[in-house]
């Protein structure tokens, strides 16, 4: 029984690694799930009942909807880059994960809404990414584990002209390039 479980875990890990391997050319989810904002779900269900969602060292929690680690999006006010207090638990969890998994690597993708000029928004997206980076470093993540890239307003997840839509676009996405 125990060995069967190990095998399942190993297969899950393989599936996750395969998912990571397909990252570099980057696909934006066409219809992001507004509930969790989870970018990629493995095709195999995970036996979440065996995982402690508060164990931020466990890579399985990256896909566990009950764990803070499954949350990968930080949202911002217009023309602001300060991280709101409600997102600090998410950042702490990911920083803890990086601390526990020294080979893990993460991309912080900074984004802006479509208002204003594109190059300024590129700067704003980077500033948001850097704000998240600073907090992760303060929580003990290593600088070599994290890279910030700004897409400005070029990669909106929502394309309507409304505040409800813009606030989903003003974001930093946490993307693991190695787990």
Partner 1 sequence: MKLNSFFATTAISLLLALAGPVRGQLQIEIVDGVEGALPVAVVPFAFGNAEFAPETPMHEVIAADLQRSGLFETLPVADMIDRPSRPPEVQFGTWRLLKVDYVVMGRWIPAGDGINGEIEYHLVAVATGRTLFSRAIAAGPGVFRLRAHQIADAVYEELTGIPGAFATRIAYVKVSDAGTPEEMFELIVADADGHNPQTIVRHSQPILSPAWAPDARRLAYVSFATGRSNVVIQDIFTGQRDIISDERGINGAPAFSPDGRYLAMSLSRGGSPDLWLRDLQTGRMEQLTRHHSINTEPAFARDGRHIYFTSDRAGQPQIYRIRRDGSDLQRVTTEGRYNSRASIDPSNGLLAMVHGERARFRIGVLDPDSGRLRVLSNGPMDESPSFAPNGQMLLYATREAEQGVLAAVSVDGRFRQRLVLAQGDVREPAWSPRMQQ
Binding residues (CB under 8 A) for partner 1: these are: 24-28, 30, 79, 114-120, 122-124, 126-127, 130, 148-152, 154-157, 159-161
The structure tokens listed for 110 are: 């900074």
- Residue 21: CB minimum distance to partner 1, A: 15
Smaller CB distance to partner 1: residue 46 or 135?
135
Contact assessment for residue 103 and residue 142, using Cβ atoms and an 8 Å cutoff:
no
Choice between 61 and 110, CB closer to partner 1: 110
Q: Considering the complex, what minimum distance in angstroms separates the CB of residue 61 from partner 1? A: 27
Residue 86 CB, shortest distance to partner 1, in Å, is 24
Task: Give least dist CB 29 to partner 1, A.
Answer: 9
Spatial separation of the C-alpha atoms in residues 109 and 167, rounded to whole Å: 16
Closest approach, Cβ 52 to partner 1, in A, equals 35
Give the angle subtended at the CA of 136 by the CAs of 42 and 80, to the nearest 5°. Answer: 95
Closest to partner 1 by CB, 43 vs 161, is 161
Cβ proximity to partner 1, 27 vs 86, nearer residue: 27
Tokens representing residue 142 in the block: 């290593």
Instruction: State the sign of the Cα–Cα–Cα–Cα dihedral 83, 88, 93, 99.
Output: positive
Which residues, 6 or more positions from 29, have their beta carbon under 8 angstroms from its beta carbon?
Answer: 39, 40, 157
Q: For residue 18, give the 3-state DSSP assignment.
A: helix
Q: How far apart are CA 17 and CA 58, in angstroms?
A: 14
- Compute the radius of gyration of the chain from its Cα atoms: 17
């Amino acid at each position: 029984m125990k060995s069967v479980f190990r095998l399942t875990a190993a297969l899950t890990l393989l599936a996750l690694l395969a998912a990571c391997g397909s990252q570099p050319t980057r696909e934006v989810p066409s219809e992001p799930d507004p509930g969790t904002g989870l970018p990629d779900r493995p095709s195999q269900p995970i036996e979440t009942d065996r995982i402690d969602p508060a164990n931020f060292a466990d890579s399985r929690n990256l896909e566990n909807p009950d764990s803070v680690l499954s949350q990968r999006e930080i949202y911002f006010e217009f023309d602001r880059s300060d991280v709101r207090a409600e997102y600090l638990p998410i950042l702490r969890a990911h920083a803890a994960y990086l601390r526990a998994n020294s080979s893990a690597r993460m991309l912080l993708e900074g984004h802006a809404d479509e208002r204003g000029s594109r190059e300024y928004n590129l700067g704003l997206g980077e500033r948001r990414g850097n704000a998240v980076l600073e907090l992760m470093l303060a929580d003990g993540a290593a600088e070599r584990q994290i890279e910030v890239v700004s897409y400005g307003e070029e990669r909106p997840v929502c394309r309507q002209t409304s505040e409800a839509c813009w606030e989903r676009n003003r974001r930093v996405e946490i993307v693991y390039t190695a787990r």
